[in-house]
Amino acid sequence: MRAVDLIQKKRDGKELSTQEIEWLISNYAKGDVPDYQMSAFAMAVYFKGMSTRETRDLTMSMVATGDQIDLSAISGVKTDKHSTGGVGDKVTLILAPLVASFGVPVAKMSGRGLGHTGGTLDKLESIKGYNINISQEDFIKQVQDIGLSVIGQSDQLVKADKLLYALRDVTATVDIIPLIASSVMSKKIAAGADSILLDVTVGDGAFMKTLEDAEKLSRLMVDLGKEVGRKTIAVITDMSQPVGQAIGNRLEVLEAIQIMQGKGRADVTDFICELGQQMLELAGVSKSLDDIKDHLVSGQALKKFEEMIISQGGDLDDLYRPVNVSHKVEIFAKDSGYVSEIPALEFGLFAMKLGAGRAVKTDPLDYETGIVFDKKVGDKVTSGDRIAVIYSNQELCQNVITEFEKNVKIGVEQIAPKEILEIIY
Ligand code: URA
């Protein structure tokens, strides 16, 4: 077989066979198919798509390019979750310990942020000492002992995704359904959990811009998970505005702690409890939302979170330390009415420029910087109310502040935002 023939076949809109896909992916992972041919292939898929059968073959071929983690030594239904990416998305920091605090083991491998989106690993690494690189044996032992571990994805897992994702990132081929589905599901399948909750984000700050596309991606990933015997559901969630109040690594950890202390905003607290209910249900544990919320605000999830931080070398004193920045800029409303828009993409990029995110993979991060919103979409504001605080380690010129103010839109009608738009079973 030759890569050029497979690229041409896809370019001409034809379906590749199982053997052809296996050949292409295994040879790419071995280094025998070069990046320039794989880039051309990704672009051909971008324009011509893939059938469900091709996407399944692509996913399983990718799984075969690395190790598969055996979690069978851990008793109970092992759970995992994955978000397709967003702004201010600190959900894992709360949801994972919440579910684990009900006795359901959570063994999770997370990723880093890129561009306007954040990554759980970066947020955890903003806690002094937290080690995301523990060995597979220690990962399994920790889940056996305390029911929870969040680590970085092992280099030995789904090698093809590591290579292909980096390539897609620089060739404008990330936001295409079959490539996202195979990337996410190959990692989830290889990571070994019995049940998987997929948080499929939709809106301005997400890869999926429309509900219709988010539904298609969800259906595909749920079916892929079920076909290999994993209980899988997708929760389609709104990413038109940031999740919760904070954007920025340490600021998001602090917001997560507040939520686990029962001091978070009601909307984000309720949203995470609803996700918790779904994740517990997948593991065969039925709980009412009231029970889950009582459990969360009584500090059980925080206790589990602290156990994980200690077990992975993190410093508990540092965990509770406020952020340390040279400049805090308060932003005040110029009009009265209701907040109608806080575009996730704009503010994700704004936080990235403060140093909270990376424009390219090699960029260093400033864990301390970011934004905390006092007001969110649907909130009433009166001219002069504080709507946000910017945490920066550089002086911000007036233009930047004016741009920030303009991006928080205030209207006359009250919008009632919904965090969960749909659940695909
Ligand atoms: N998250 C992933 O892991 N892969 C994608 O392709 C997009 C989001």
Write out pLDDT tens, residues 71-118. Answer: 999 999 999 999 999 999 999 999 999 999 999 999 999 988 888 898
Q: Considering only 192-201, 256-265, 355-364, 414-423, which range has the smallest mean pLDDT? A: 355-364
What distance in Å separates the CA atoms of residue 12 and residue 7, rounded to the nearest whole number? 9
Q: Are 407 and 343 in contact (CB under 8 A)?
A: yes
Mean pLDDT across 181-188: 96
User: Which part of the chain has CATH 1.20.970.10?
Assistant: 3-49
Question: What was the pLDDT predicted at 183?
Answer: 96
Cα of 184 from ligand 1 centre, angstroms: 5
pLDDT band (50, 70, 90) for residue 27: very high
Give the 3-state secondary structure of residue 82. Answer: strand
Mean pLDDT across 301-315: 98
Nearest atom within ligand 1 for CA of residue 180: 6
Cα of 334 from ligand 1 centre, angstroms: 38
Catalytic residues: 82, 161, 168, 183, 187
**What residue owns the CA closest to ligand 1's atom 8?**
84
The CATH number corresponding to 3-49 among 1.20.970.10, 3.30.420.40, 1.20.120.450, 3.30.530.20 equals 1.20.970.10
Nearest atom within ligand 1 for CA of residue 168: 6
The overall average pLDDT reported for the chain is 96
Q: Are 82 and 187 in contact (CB under 8 A)?
A: yes
> Per CATH, which fold does 79-318 belong to?
Pyrimidine Nucleoside Phosphorylase; Chain A, domain 2 (3.40.1030)
**What residue owns the CA closest to ligand 1's atom 7?**
180
- The pTM for the full model equals 0.96
Angle between helices 300-311 and 136-146 (to 10 degrees): 150
Cα of 290 from ligand 1 centre, angstroms: 33
Q: Are 158 and 58 in contact (CB under 8 A)?
A: no
pLDDT band (50, 70, 90) for residue 348: very high
Q: For residue 359, is pLDDT > 90? A: no
**What residue owns the CA closest to ligand 1's atom 6?**
180
Q: For residue 15, is pLDDT > 90? A: yes
Mean pLDDT across 34-59: 98
pLDDT band (50, 70, 90) for residue 361: confident
Mean pLDDT across 336-361: 95
- Helical ranges in 237-299 per DSSP H: 249-260, 266-282, 289-297
**What residue owns the CA closest to ligand 1's atom 1?**
84
The CATH number corresponding to 327-411 among 2.60.40.10, 3.40.50.970, 3.10.270.10, 3.90.1170.30 equals 3.90.1170.30
- Cα 384 → chain centroid: 34
**What residue owns the CA closest to ligand 1's atom 2?**
184
Q: State which of 114, 153, 165 you would mutate to test the pocket of ligand 1, scoring each by most atoms of that ligand within 8 A of its C-beta.
A: 165
Cα of 168 from ligand 1 centre, angstroms: 10
Cα of 84 from ligand 1 centre, angstroms: 6
Question: What was the pLDDT predicted at 252?
Answer: 98
User: Which part of the chain has CATH 3.40.1030.10?
Assistant: 79-318
Residues with CB under 6 A from ligand 1: 84-85, 165, 174, 179-180, 183-184, 207
Q: State which of 110, 157, 174, 180 you would mutate to test the pocket of ligand 1, scoring each by most atoms of that ligand within 8 A of its C-beta.
A: 180
**What residue owns the CA closest to ligand 1's atom 3?**
184
Question: What was the pLDDT predicted at 360?
Answer: 85
Cα of 414 from ligand 1 centre, angstroms: 34
Percent of the chain past pLDDT 90, that is, above it, reads 95
Mean pLDDT across 255-267: 97
Sheet (strand 246-247) strand order? 246-247, 370-373, 386-392, 327-332
pLDDT band (50, 70, 90) for residue 153: confident
Nearest atom within ligand 1 for CA of residue 187: 3
Percent of the chain past pLDDT 70, that is, above it, reads 100
Mean pLDDT across 323-335: 97
User: Which part of the chain has CATH 3.90.1170.30?
Assistant: 327-411
The H helix count followed by the E strand count for the chain is: 17, 13
Q: For residue 156, is pLDDT > 90? A: no
Q: Considering only 2-11, 80-89, 149-158, 312-321, which range has the smallest mean pLDDT? A: 149-158
